Structure 1
């Protein structure tokens, strides 16, 4: 919707397709329709972008292809071999592409997200963005590799997004770090959220925050008052040494388990991810952390488990290259967090079954169910039925 907002709504017919939501784009009529094909995605989607470009050019030799996102910013020179426009900037660069390809009359300036193009798929959920990038520099993060600096929008931009979005039941901020490093801006957004909530624009909202958010214990009460029902934070590991090794020192200031419990006790669901690195850590160390998560009372299961990903351009990628950790013939599409791409410390025949079973927690399912029941008992007076479903439903999805 944000990319579509760069096109003039009167001069351009714009259609949106998400393979993540709707599956592979296999309709020749739809793929051969556009005069300008705009592609974006995560690093692992680079090969798929090339596939779609080849298919589109076969169906329409005159099609113009523009590509952006993390894989393009990581490999801009290589990307120029395949795409007409290589967008190394942020989403607003699409206006420059349209202006260069067709003229200024086909752009929308300033662009407002085209929420109307996705409303049929997201009737109850709306997406907003109030800031971009992050003020921390974790070793494995693509934002670190891109040297992207934290940037905030003015409140009027956020107001325009609200008005374009219309009324939704739930809002999800897609900010890389909603908390940021500007206290005044954080508080001003909470006041704006309260204002729009009182006007009936939404019931509840969710966002991603970094762990320093929990340093100020008043923050939980403030976001709760403005309608926050869940927060996501990148825990990555409960081992302080692992966190320091990734330069994620902000997660070592406040005890993470304590922060999670306080969040849940405040009536806010806590979501997080765990990252395992068999190239850096012995297998038994990884198993102990998994046992810690399952055995710690009041601690919800993570939303996902992922392997560490050596994203091109990041310090972690450079480390893997210099130490010759990468396995032979690794492709961009293998950088998905589920595929083993680095030489592990332990024998491959022991690590592969662990990685294979991790995605669904095979062998731990009975304990997962018990943990979900314990979580419901612990927080059923603090969380609404919908929040409880969010907190424990993921446990069953992990085991599906």
Structure 2
């Protein structure tokens, strides 16, 4: 992946690729498997595997095609899958890969292996939408080389999201939402061997009935956990209380914009900007931190959006912020609309990582959008605003300052320590700070 300007190598080493680990678990009983993550290691081209599987995001497609070429020259069959292939398979060059894997690995890889052994490989394999969460296979956690990752204790409880926001991959028809079997998730929590869990779902509370039952199940485990939810979860008092009592430390929420016109323009129907501050109070009253995500460059945005958003973030003491330049991913409703309007400015997919302006904004120039994106990151994580945003709850200040200072403000120094000591050990130190809450 390509790092954004504010990221260090910590971002690349944050967590292992659960999708690839799921495929490992699908095939390793009968076949020899090797997993390589180019974010953290060099690819070994000196071996000759029968099949090479590459997980592809939109900005890594050009690199994936180059990797595929080198292995195909050696006689390997190359299978491309992942979120970009599933979302926009019709944009993949016909000669780039031998096989396209569209949809869930559980419904494609067993057939790919069988057909390979029978010398009967097809060009495209599609997984029908999984009808049952019991069909989801657990990642092969024991396959990891843990010293290379900051957090290995990542668990997913669901696939997809019930909402269909225009700029999100979930707006594509190929994606679905379903919850896993609770007992399977509990087994994964046990497998990662940590009480500090990162639930890595698109929407941890997409099905509140399921989530409430799950939170009751994990209550005795005394976990400390984080997750991503949509903002409507903040208006369910029972759900928030269960989150607090089961060990929730932080919630990632896609606020996207404080401008109601900008939000409605991408059909984010669950967000009502006039209720944002009520939601924030409900979460903060329970001692839970907020990681707020914002998207800049929506059609309702003007150059004033950066200063007004910064003031709002500081006023509401948002603990951490993730910002993005609006990016129309191929295969999404947003891309289709902008393409039809002639607003897509480049087909260089390496730029589609939310840190570049790849379309024509409506309410500002490309330069104003790009400069504003950099400006607000710098201002949010200035020492002055880190201090102003400190939580009212003293119990979470240690975790707050750890993230804001060691990951964002002085991330380059922390990354140097990770290289000297190991990402796993630095992650463990951060865990101990968080567990002290």
Pairwise TM-score range, normalised by the shorter structure: 0.7 to 0.9
Q: Match for residue 170 of structure 1?
A: 196
1:332-371 matched pairs, under 5 angstroms = 332-345=349-362, 348=365, 351-352=366-367, 354-356=369-371, 358-359=373-374, 361=376, 364=379, 368-371=382-385
Aligned counterpart, 1:244: 264
SS of 2:252's partner is strand
Q: Deviations over 1:188-231 (max 9, x none)?
A: 21122224x15xxxx41111111110111232221121121111
Mapped to 2, the partners of 1:124 and 1:305 lie a distance apart of: 22
1:106 paired residue number: none
Q: SS state of the match for residue 303, structure 2?
A: helix
Match of 1:320 among 332, 335, 338: 338
Q: 1:370 to 1:153 in 2, by over 3 A?
A: same
Residue-by-residue CA offset, 1:69-120 (whole Å, 9 max, x unaligned): 22212332443432222111113122222232237xxxxx984321112252
1:330 and 2:347 aligned: yes
Q: 1:399 to 1:370 in 2, by over 3 A?
A: farther
Q: 1:122 to 1:162 in 2, by over 3 A?
A: same
Distance in 2, matches of 1:227 and 1:325, equals: 45
Secondary structure, in 3 states, of the residue corresponding to 2:293?
strand
Instruction: Provide Cα deviations, 1:156-199, integer angstroms capped at 9, x if missing partner.
Output: 32233234x24114211121111013x3311221122224x15x
Aligned to 1:65: 78
Distance change in 2, residues 1:346/1:221 (3 Å): closer
Three-state SS of the structure 1 residue aligned to 2:370 is helix
Cα shift at 1:247:
0.7
Which residue does 1:41 correspond to in 2? 56
* Residue 368 (structure 1) shift: 2.7
Q: Note closer, same or farther for the CA distance 1:75–1:226 as it changes in structure 2 (3 Å cut).
A: same
Give the structure 1 partner of residue 236 of structure 2: 216
Instruction: Check 1:220–1:192 CA distance in 2 against 1; reply closer, same or farther (3 A cut).
Output: same
Q: CA deviation at 1:346?
A: 6.3
Q: What is the rounded CA distance, in whole Å, between the counterparts of 2:204 and 2:95 in structure 1?
A: 36
Please give the alpha-carbon distance, in whole angstroms, between the structure 2 residues aligned to 1:52 and 1:372. Answer: 42
CA deviation map 1:318-354 (0-9, x unaligned): 1101111111x42222211111111234675xx4265
Structure 1 match to 2:392:
379
Deviations 1:286-322 (A, max 9, x none): 33434434542423341x2211111112221111011
Q: Distance in 2 between matches of 1:398 and 1:326?
A: 33
SS at match of 1:2: helix
Task: Please say which of residues 90-99 and 332-341 is displaced more in the overlay.
Answer: 90-99
The 5 A counterparts of 1:49-128 are 49-58=64-73, 60-61=74-75, 63-79=76-92, 80-92=94-106, 93-102=108-117, 111-120=137-146, 121-122=148-149, 125-128=152-155
Shift of 1:364: 3.2
* 1:28 aligned counterpart, secondary structure: coil
Residue in structure 2 matched with residue 187 of structure 1 by the alignment: 212
Change (3 A) 1:334 1:7: same
Q: Label 1:388 to 1:364 Cα distance change in 2 as closer, same or farther (>3 A).
A: closer
Q: Which residue among 34, 38, 55 is the counterpart of 1:19?
A: 38
Structure 1 pair 385–246 and aligned structure 2 pair: CA distance change class (3 A): same
**SS of the residue 2:105 aligns to:** coil
Aligned pairs, number: 374
Q: 1:230 aligns with which of 227, 240, 250?
A: 250
Runs of 4+ in 1 over 4 A off after TM superposition: 360-363, 391-395, 397-400
Cα gap change, 1:51/1:221 in structure 2, threshold over 3 Å: closer, same or farther?
A: same
Secondary structure at the aligned position of 1:250 is classed as coil
Aligned to 1:292: 311
Paired residues of 2:295 and 2:323 also in contact (CA < 8 A): yes
Quick one: structure 1 residues 85 and 284, their matched pair in 2 at CA, closer, same or farther if it must change by over 3 Å? same
The 8 Å contact of residues 290 and 320 in structure 2, kept in 1 or not, is answered as no
Q: Is this contact kept in 2: 1:261–1:299, CA < 8 A? A: no
Which residue in 2 is equivalent to 1:145?
172
What RMSD in Å do the two structures reach over aligned CA positions? Answer: 2.9
CA pair 334-272 structure 1, distance change in 2 beyond 3 A: same
Unaligned 5+ segments in structure 1 are: 104-108
Structure 1: distance between partners of 2:316 and 2:193:
38
